[in-house]
């Protein structure tokens, strides 16, 4: 009997161990994506900046640094590719951004990352800046897969009043509200609260879409004062304070995950939508000339405060300073500290996350992105044969291996070829020396161009002749005297 009891006990232990292993293997990771806005490539501490970012630096030290990671030239296309795993040109969002006066958004037939994750049991939440459609509620985050949304819909708002053009663009789950506080701190508070109150029997997808350090350049005075003796002007000091404030929220999020015992099973992705703005056209804060100085915008003709280091160009450009973004993948129990120089892109995030979560994309909307987990975790080569940086009616850029082609179609036209291994600053155009490589990359770019949908921005913008126009919200909303969008009251007949 004793022998039988022992054998039974061993069998029970073996069974329980197998169940525990099966449960561990079946446990879906929490996913936290933190996206900075217009972050200069050289403006983090671990990249040599004097801007203090100890929390992001720690993620970089302990995680995987993707050093050839591509966003898009501007905000809307990058956010669209993050949410769909598909190139923005496939659904008409490849050109510039959605202006306040535009009525279009991310097409509703595009399956989003939170929609796919919800199907396999995830709780989904977003805080911060959306910028993928605001004029119709069908485009809003809570109608695109998020269980909870707290933040703003249009491209930018005042960091303190949350206003844009006299309207308050600040909401929680569809209800607009006026709320005191600094944008970056408020979304950090919300993110921490989401983690603290999360039911850990379900996996969490949390998207933290920062507005910082996008113009207008605004921060609490005490945070600006901390940089008053640093190099640069008041815009640089404020910009630095904005990044340090963002870094503080990153630290709070990591601490909250640790305190909730979630950190060991969480993949954190930190990145930026595009490079830092080096032209005042992309850093005005969308204010009138009279208001810019007071509101934190950069005067036209002045130099914005962001730095992309030795990379050429900035926000809006197809050169590296506009599209190569600092990116970190951090998962303390799954990823070892390393530096990856393989070409990867923001379009890869969704297919990678879905592979980890056991979720699927849409078969009739195939991914352009790839599952890059083997590259991150096992140092394997990039799964991409080529990476489309962007293609529009008048320009495009593509990378294959170390070669990058930039094509400007506007007359008189221009073709540039760079060997990024030897020339990361894109100083030497070697197109004349390597015609066969130019021909190959041009043919690839043309193939993509033939597949692109017409640009929604180009279709919409001629009516506004360059102006961003009045902000549109859902037609069921009126604007009250305080600037808040309010749902119309329909009286019974």
Q: What is the pLDDT of residues 411-422, one digit of tens each?
A: 889 999 999 999
This prediction's pTM = 0.91
Percentage, residues of the chain above pLDDT 70: 87
75 catalytic, yes or no? yes
Residue 365 among the catalytic residues? no
- Please tell me if the domain spanning 28-384 has the same topology as the one spanning 393-451: no
User: What average pLDDT does the segment 63-79 reach?
Assistant: 98
Return the pLDDT at 22.
35
Spot the catalytic one: 19, 23, 75, 384. Answer: 75
Per-residue pLDDT band at 160 (split at 50, 70, 90): very high
Given this model, what pLDDT does residue 298 score? 74
Residue 10 pLDDT exceeds 60: no
Counting residues of the chain whose pLDDT is more than 90, the rounded percentage is 81
| Across 67-96, average pLDDT | 98
Is the torsion defined by CA of 264, 208, 249, 282 positive or negative? positive
Lowest mean pLDDT among 9-13, 131-135, 246-250: 9-13
- Annotated active-site residue in 23, 102, 131, 134: 131
The superfamily in CATH containing domain 28-384 is: Alkaline Phosphatase, subunit A (3.40.720.10)
Domain locations along the chain:
28-384, 393-451
pLDDT of residue 26: 58
281: nearest Cα among 307, 312, 304: 304
> Residue 280 and residue 295: Cα distance in Å, rounded?
15
Mean pLDDT of the chain: 90
CATH 3.40.50.1170 fits 393-451, yes or no: no
């Amino acid at each position: 009997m004793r022998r039988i009891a022992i054998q039974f006990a061993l069998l029970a232990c073996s069974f329980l161990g197998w169940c525990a292993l099966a449960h561990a293997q079946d446990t879906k990771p929490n996913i936290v994506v933190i996206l900075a806005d217009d972050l200069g490539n050289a403006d983090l501490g671990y990249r040599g900046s004097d801007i203090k970012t100890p929390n992001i630096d720690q993620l970089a030290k302990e995680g995987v640094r993707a050093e050839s990671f591509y966003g898009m030239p501007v905000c809307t296309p990058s956010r669209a590719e993050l949410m769909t795993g598909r190139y923005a040109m496939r659904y008409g969002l490849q050109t510039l951004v959605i202006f306040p006066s535009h009525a279009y958004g991310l097409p509703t037939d595009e399956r989003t990352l939170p929609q796919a994750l919800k199907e396999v049991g995830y709780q989904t939440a977003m805080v911060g800046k959306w910028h993928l459609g605001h004029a119709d509620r069908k485009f809003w985050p809570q109608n695109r897969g998020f269980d909870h949304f707290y933040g703003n819909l249009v491209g930018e708002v005042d960091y303190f009043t949350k206003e844009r053009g006299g309207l308050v663009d600040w909401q929680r789950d569809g209800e607009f509200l006026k709320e005191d506080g600094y944008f970056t701190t408020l979304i950090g508070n919300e993110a921490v609260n989401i983690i603290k109150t999360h039911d850990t029997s379900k996996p969490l997808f949390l998207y933290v879409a920062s507005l910082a350090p996008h113009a207008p350049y605004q921060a609490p005075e005490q945070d600006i004062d901390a940089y008053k003796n640093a190099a640069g002007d008041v815009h640089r000091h404020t910009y630095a304070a904005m990044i340090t404030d963002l870094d503080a929220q990153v630290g709070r999020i990591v601490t909250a995950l640790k305190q909730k015992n979630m950190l060991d099973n969480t993949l954190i992705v930190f990145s930026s939508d595009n490079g830092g703005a080096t032209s005042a056209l992309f850093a005005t804060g969308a204010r009138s000339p009279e208001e810019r100085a007071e509101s934190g915008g950069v005067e036209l003709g002045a130099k914005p405060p962001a730095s992309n280091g030795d990379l050429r160009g900035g926000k809006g450009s197809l050169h590296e300073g506009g599209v190569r973004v600092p990116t970190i993948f951090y998962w303390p129990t799954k990823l070892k500290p390393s530096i990856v120089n393989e070409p990867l892109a923001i379009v890869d995030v969704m297919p990678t996350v879905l592979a980890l979560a056991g979720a699927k994309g849409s078969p009739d909307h195939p991914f352009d992105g790839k599952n890059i987990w083997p590259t991150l975790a096992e140092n394997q080569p990039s799964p991409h044969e080529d990476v489309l940086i962007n293609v529009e009616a008048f320009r495009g850029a593509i990378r294959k291996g170390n070669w990058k082609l930039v094509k400007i179609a506007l007359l008189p036209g221009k073709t540039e070829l760079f060997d990024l291994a030897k020339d990361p600053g894109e100083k030497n155009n070697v197109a004349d020396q390597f015609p066969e490589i130019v021909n190959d990359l041009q043919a690839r770019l043309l193939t993509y161009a033939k597949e692109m949908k017409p640009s929604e921005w180009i279709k919409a913008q001629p009516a506004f002749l360059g102006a961003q126009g009045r902000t549109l919200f859902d037609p069921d909303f009126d604007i009250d005297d305080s600037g808040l969008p309010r749902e119309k009251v329909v009286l019974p007949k």
